[in-house]
Structure 1
Amino acid sequence: MDIAIVGTGYVGLVSGACFAEMGVNVTCVDVDASKISRLQLGEIPIYEPGLDIMVKQNLEAGRLHFTTDLSYCIDNVELVFSAVGTPPDEDGSADLKYVFEVARTFAQNIKKYTVLVTKSTVPVGTAKKVKAVIYEELKKRGVDIPFDVASNPEFLKEGNALKDFMNPDRIVIGVENEHARNLMDKLYKPFVQNNYQVLFMDIPSAEMTKYAANSMLATRISFMNDIANLCERVGANVDMVRYGIGTDARIGAKFLYSGCGYGGSCFPKDVRALIQTGRENGYEMCVIEAVEKVNTRQKSVIFDKLFNIFDKKLKGRSVALWGLAFKPETDDMREATALVVIDKLIKAGVKVSVYDPVAIDECKRRIGNVVTYCKNMYETVLDADALVLVTEWEQFHFPDWKRVKKLMKGNVVIDGRNIYRRKDLEKEGIICYGIGK
């Protein structure tokens, strides 16, 4: 089977590599000629464990191709996936200009029945708008070529994307007729044979499923952060509370971890887009609006703790940060809590030293040299008054606390992800502050 994927960002490149791994002949298309040239050489523009190996293997096997021109491959493909970005607009809604541009290019080049599948995260109703764009372009060409649209939202976690794609919890597909369904069924046949759930539904429901899923996960995080903040005030331990409610089968234990706020390319953007979709349809998304409000406040928790610990006198102090990316196993810093913490500390006159295994270059691109970038986790804490854990990379889980204490000037650790046991640090003369404890 031959398919094309437009957009070689996180979703497009992972999807292309994984489909190729399943034996599909995949052509990935992007307008960025420099990026395509690098990909043709097997060079990966993003950090995702295992992706570089998979791309190189399928390039060598001849199943994965890269081009800047959709017309190069469209005569041979049955499905064209749209995996371009949908960045947030000023009002929080998803900006669909790239999605519509793919639709126009699709309509300008098809010569036979082809299905355009939206893999990007788009608001409910986008498929109708995409169809209208295609009809308009076909009319300009003076042709009547049959086509269909479909929705196939992604559910990939950065840092675990290959496993998520190849071993999915479920595959959601929105279609309008049997013809499109049969093609999508053909593409995902290997997954069906491996007993993975393929859920066919109407397109609006598929579009909504993506937003509902991410908003539910964001809700659980913000809920636990709200509970954690109250736990601190009443003398409870949020970890004990999490155990207590997580054993309830109706609730479950996943996504009940408190911390210093969520970030990334999905949750913040999708929560805001769902709120805006509600407004556009005359409905107030009260719960989701509260989720965003709690998360925005939670990103200031670390600074607030430091402010109070040092009796509101932070100017001239030195603070070390472990972790910059919004989560482990990625260099993505979109909406990262570290950016908020750094900004507040710098404005308070604090000297900030940082270390992250993979996100330092991305941090430099975003904020320049307002902080000191270190080569390893121990260099970061040299002469620091306080250490803050922001991202729970594995290498930060079991540091040499004796060494840390010896290198630091102070003895304060803020555990922004609740991965440390306070008593272990107390043995070394370190005072550890968690979230909700």
Structure 2
Amino acid sequence: MQIESTSDEQRSLDDQQIQRIRRKSISVLAAGQILGGLGGGATLTLGSLLIVSISGLDALAGMAATMNTLGAAIMALPLALLAQKFGRRISLSTGALLAASGVVVIIAAAFLRYWPLLLLGMLVLGTGSAMNLQSRFAATDLSTTATRGRDLSLVVWSTTAGAVIGPNLFEPGEELAQFISLPPFTGGFLIAMCAQLVGVLVYWLGLRPDPLQIAQRQAAAQASEVQLRRRGWSILRNTSAARHAVLTVALTHLYMVSMMSMTPIHMQHQGASLTLIGITISVHVAGMYALSPVFGWLTDMLGPRTVIFTGQALLVTASILVWSNAENHTVTTLALLSLGLGWSASTVAGATMITGSVGLAERPKLQGTSDLCMNLAGVLGGFTAGPILAAVGFRGLAVVLLIFAMFMIAVNMKSNSAGTVHE
């Protein structure tokens, strides 16, 4: 009896230590997300301005976001494999370092005034986006099924700070660029590079011990499950819960990118000022991130499928608002808010379902495959939204997107809750 009691105390102490590491890891990941978020605005806004300035071609303005998304898609699986083999600390530090090197290429391209090199720099900078996506999954490495959604959503929520602070650094960045004789529109990128380098230190020093490696050792010691090691695509073919979750996250992202990217063009055609367009996009971004902890808590309490249905209902609401009165700027702003909230609910719940659908040994590969699909869906949405807008208008685009919401609702209705839950 005495030996059994001592064993229980030791197990309790170990659990407490793991929870402390879990909380510390989430704080480190949140800090890294804030630093990484500082570069997002530079890529979308300054990148477009820089490409047009160097090339003289307005048609290339959208290539900044496109190349960034492609870079994120390309690096999603390599970073996941790096995490699988060496842990999150190595993977995330490498991602931040590569993103910083992309800024070096961008500034060099600005000096040379050679836009193909600039696109390459944007592609490499996209590694930062892949790293940020992996961070939300890293938050769940030591989570239980009772805390998985909240842990993931807290890291997603921290992106809000970087997204809000980043655009406010554009003007100081330009003053800094002028002071040190850098080309126009590169100051914000310089700040983003410094933020990523700080991020390298944050991940390298903060993720000690490494949460994924601890979780892997726990799983090996407990030997409570068969440690399958299928490739990500094989998992999708053979695990319905994983397939449904990845489809939900990818198509939700396509839905959001398609409508959001065309909103400024639509509003401009309706005579809206740049200030009003900026406010609308800011409201949308707030909807994407500000309430993610609420959706994470609801995911833990009610289950991922319920929150996914809520998210799809919000996406449908966005389309209905646009269809009902696309010419009204207030209605458009409300639609973009609903779009952001729907994206947040579906992405948080979908990512939580992805993590719970397979065992620990397969999670990094599945997570990387999900991020790849999500980014490719975003690229597809961005490429196709323009032609659809030209053909059927903003209202028509909103109606076309309803097809994806209906499909996601049908897919998740067939799903067996969240699939098998693994610890």
TM-score normalised per structure 1: 0.25
Between Structure 1 and Structure 2, which shows a larger proportion of strand residues?
1
The higher relative CO (CA closer than 8 Å, separation ≥ 6) is in: 2
TM-score normalised per structure 2: 0.25
Between Structure 1 and Structure 2, which shows a larger proportion of helix residues?
2
